Amino acid sequence: MGEPAKDDWYSNQQLYEMMVELSKGLEATNAELGKTQVLIRDYNGLRKEVADVKTLVATALGSKKNLQWWLTFAVAVAAVIVAIVK
């Protein structure tokens, strides 16, 4: 363990320095992954909100069309009544 053998590619110091650099790189990667997870969570929340709004708009449009149909029906019935009374 004292002196490196001839067929050692790296010294213990070089290996230690490589491990330190790798560790720093992994810490940076973990920090980026944490940010990415937050962004994905926020994005998924926005997608759910958009889906909810689409549902509300579809419901509101459906109600509006339903109301228009009933109003048209009421006007037609009133027109028939007026025609019968005259």
pLDDT tens string 7-17: 678 889 999 99
CA 33 – CA 46 distance, rounded (Å): 20
CB 4 within 8 A of CB 11: yes
pTM of the full structure: 0.48
**Contacts (Cβ under 8 Å, ≥6 apart) of 12:** 4
Q: 67 falls in which pLDDT band (50, 70, 90)?
A: confident
Residue type, 70: W
- CA 3 centroid distance within chain: 57
